[in-house]
Amino acid sequence: MEYTSAELMVVAAAREIRDRELVFVGMRLPLLAFLLAKEVHAKEAVSLFENGIIRDRPSREGLYTVSDPANVLAALNCTDMLTIMSLLQSGLVDLGFIGGAQIDRFGNLNTSYIKTPGGGLVRLPGSGGAGDIACLAKRLLVIMPHEKRRFVKRVDYVTSPGYGTGPGWRQEQGLVRGGPAVVITSKGIIKFDPDTREAYLHSYHPGVDLDDIQENTGWDLTVPTEVSMTEPPRPEELAVVRRYDPQGFWTG
């Protein structure tokens, strides 16, 4: 069955969501991933949105922003941002989704600024709630395109901390939980070694060459000898994704 790269990313991300988890959901692909998980295997998972909405059931139609009326209709609660962030601070959020303009080998993310070859800076949107999610959720899931300009040896600025400079860094900073668990890219799935905290290739997507992944990574990405191919989307998974994104607005 044919599918797009973005559809595979959504399916791979959905498989990381566990039943009964409290999930801080973002827009675009993360939202579709949550909706898919909710329908297929994580039926009792609950979603949190930065604008204060809490849902224990999927919206009746696809969303383009978190404040769409469809997201408010039949929500479990419509509260405020402070309440949502307090759930993070209290350690109640199991999984948080974020993305970034840059990510490095220790899972640090940059959405603040990029240095140009001439010594200037390109300003980016900044943190929003991403820094809070990266620091306070029990684990972090990142979704982003796999390009060499994005996957760099060291980010230009740490907006959302991963494992900092390596083992023990989060504990030294007082970050007693969390850290990046998985990076879903357009070419494969990356995880982090529990001892070195460095990224390694967990699986490569169908049709993607390992050399292509290395060429689009700004450091020598570890590839275990037992690396496998990502399981393709199943027809029932694609059916759910396409029901929520029928025009391919996010996944086309």
126 vs 165 pLDDT, higher one: 165
pTM of the model: 0.94
pLDDT tens, residue by residue, 187-222: 999 999 999 999 999 999 999 999 999 999 999 999
The SS3 call for residue 49 is: coil
- Cα 14 from chain centroid (whole Å): 10
Quickly state the pLDDT bin for 162 (edges 50, 70, 90): very high
Residue 118's pLDDT is what? Answer: 86
pLDDT tens, residue by residue, 85-106: 999 999 999 999 998 899 999 9
Residue 26's pLDDT is what? Answer: 80
Residues facing residue 24 across a β-bridge: 48, 96
**Which tokens go with 230?**
């990502």
List Cα–Cα distances, 23 to 18, 38, 154, 174, in angstroms. Answer: 9, 11, 28, 23
pLDDT tens, residue by residue, 1-47: 799 999 999 999 999 999 999 999 988 899 899 999 999 999 999 99
Highest mean pLDDT among 126-130, 157-161, 246-250: 157-161
Cα 18 to Cα 43: distance, rounded to the nearest angstrom: 9
Residue 119's pLDDT is what? Answer: 83
Quickly state the pLDDT bin for 163 (edges 50, 70, 90): very high
Answer yes or no: is pLDDT of 141 > 90. yes
121 vs 160 pLDDT, higher one: 160
Strand ranges inside 6-160, DSSP E: 22-24, 46-48, 53-55, 77-78, 95-98, 102-103, 109-110, 113-115, 121-123, 139-144
Q: Are 109 and 137 in contact (CB under 8 A)?
A: no
pLDDT tens, residue by residue, 102-139: 999 999 999 999 998 888 889 998 888 899 999 999 99
- Is 2 marked active-site? no
Residue ranges of alpha helices (H) inside the chain are: 5-14, 29-40, 69-72, 81-89, 130-136, 169-172, 210-215, 235-244
Tell me the DSSP string of 215-249.
HTSSS--B--TT-EEPPPPPHHHHHHHHHHSTT-T
Length of the chain: 252
The SS3 call for residue 144 is: strand
Residue 192's pLDDT is what? Answer: 98
Answer yes or no: is pLDDT of 61 > 80. no
Mean pLDDT on 153-162: 96
Residue 50 CB neighbours (<10 A): 19
Catalytic residue among 21, 39, 50, 237: 50
Residue 66's pLDDT is what? Answer: 82
Residue 128's pLDDT is what? Answer: 85
